[in-house]
Amino acid sequence: MLRYILGKLALIIPTFIGITILAFGFVRILPGDPVLVLAGERGLSPERHTALMHQFGFDLPIWQQYLTYLTNILGGDFGTSFSTKTPVLKDFLVRFPATVELAIFAMIFAVIFGVAFGIFAAIRRGSWFDQLTMGTALAGYSMPIFWWGLLLIIVFSGTLHWTPVSGRIDLLYFFKPVTGFMTIDSLISGQKGAFRSAVSHLILPTIVLGTIPLAVIARQTRSAMLEVLGEDYVRTARAKGLAPRRVIGLHAFRNALIPVVTTIGLQVGTLLTGAILTESIFSWPGIGKWMIDAISKRDYFTVQGGLLLIALIVMSVNLIVDVLYAVINPRIRAN
């Protein structure tokens, strides 16, 4: 097992270097020299220009610049934002909990409904329920989620006034972040109605972000269940007279879970892509909105640092999924 994990880690090193090269190259391939690009339309005096070139180390040979960049990253320095003048890592960490909170809720929503629909569709294969669920799942998978979010706002916020339009909590409530998770912090604060407000702000973004993973998980659960239900050991379990509930719950579902777990892990990239759009629609102050704002403000150091941090997260999650997969399924380790 340890050898398997070490092997996976060794594979990650070249990818990590590649990711840093890509993030490093990003600011360098912008047309014009980086200082001019960062200065934007304000213009710079030649002296200030030379001073800035020196300050950022742009006057050094390119390989030396990269080595400095790599050393900084390994030391936890992901650059400094050009607009807020704070370290990119700090800006990132302030916003990250908001995205994680939203992603966790979206994933719980997607897994509960996706697995349930998938199992029932598989058990009643070919029935109208199966066809309806799978048709809806494919529609969900085809959903432009930015539009889906706007539609939900029109119906639930605009017409029915059930949910708020944007943000994480009502402006009435203010408290110091402890965990960064609004649902937990609101409970800690003990303010009346704060928790309720936090949850009501979460509902629509959760549905929007969870829609595509839900569709993917439902389809995957169904096909995994169908495969397992045709296996000999399920037939044996049925033949020896076990209750259908026990056959499906104990024998079939546990084995169908393996591909489902992998699918759930693979959805993390989708979630981050979705977070960019969802956060932008609901003005959710997470890393997706932060990146969009940085791109539109041309704050290239933030974009560079954010890109790298997000890629590192995706990479780590994929590694964890690989290892978990090997833990659940011994056949993988043997290979």
Residues found near other proteins in the complex (CB under 8 A): 14-15, 18-19, 22, 26, 29-30, 135, 138-139, 141-144, 146-148, 150-151, 153-154, 157-158, 269-270, 272-273, 276-277, 280, 291-292, 295-296, 298, 303, 307, 310-311, 314-315, 318
The residue to which tokens 């090193």 are assigned: 13
Q: Considering the complex, what minimum distance in angstroms separates the CB of residue 252 from other proteins?
A: 18
Alpha-carbon span 148 to 212, nearest angstrom? 11
8 A C-beta contact, residue 20 and residue 65: no
Choose between 191 and 318: whose C-beta lies nearer to other proteins: 318
8 A C-beta contact, residue 292 and residue 273: no
Choose between 12 and 184: whose C-beta lies nearer to other proteins: 12
Q: Considering the complex, what minimum distance in angstroms separates the CB of residue 46 from other proteins?
A: 26
Q: Considering the complex, what minimum distance in angstroms separates the CB of residue 35 from other proteins?
A: 16
Q: Considering the complex, what minimum distance in angstroms separates the CB of residue 158 from other proteins?
A: 4
Identify the DSSP state of 167: S
Choose between 45 and 159: whose C-beta lies nearer to other proteins: 159
8 A C-beta contact, residue 117 and residue 220: no
Query: Which residues does 220 contact at the CB level (< 8 Å), separation at least 6?
Result: 114, 118, 259, 260, 263
Choose between 116 and 266: whose C-beta lies nearer to other proteins: 266
Choose between 185 and 288: whose C-beta lies nearer to other proteins: 288
- Integer-rounded Cα Rg, in Å, for the chain is 24
Q: Which of 156, 140, 290, 164 is nearest to 212 (CA)?
A: 140
Q: Which of 35, 31, 87 is nearest to 58 (CA)?
A: 35
Look up residue 178 and give its two tokens: 């402890």
Query: Which residues does 190 contact at the CB level (< 8 Å), separation at least 6?
Result: none
Q: Considering the complex, what minimum distance in angstroms separates the CB of residue 166 from other proteins?
A: 12
Choose between 19 and 89: whose C-beta lies nearer to other proteins: 19
Q: Considering the complex, what minimum distance in angstroms separates the CB of residue 277 from other proteins?
A: 6
* Cα 215 off chain centre by: 16
Look up residue 319 and give its two tokens: 């590694």
Q: Considering the complex, what minimum distance in angstroms separates the CB of residue 81 from other proteins?
A: 15
Choose between 73 and 291: whose C-beta lies nearer to other proteins: 291
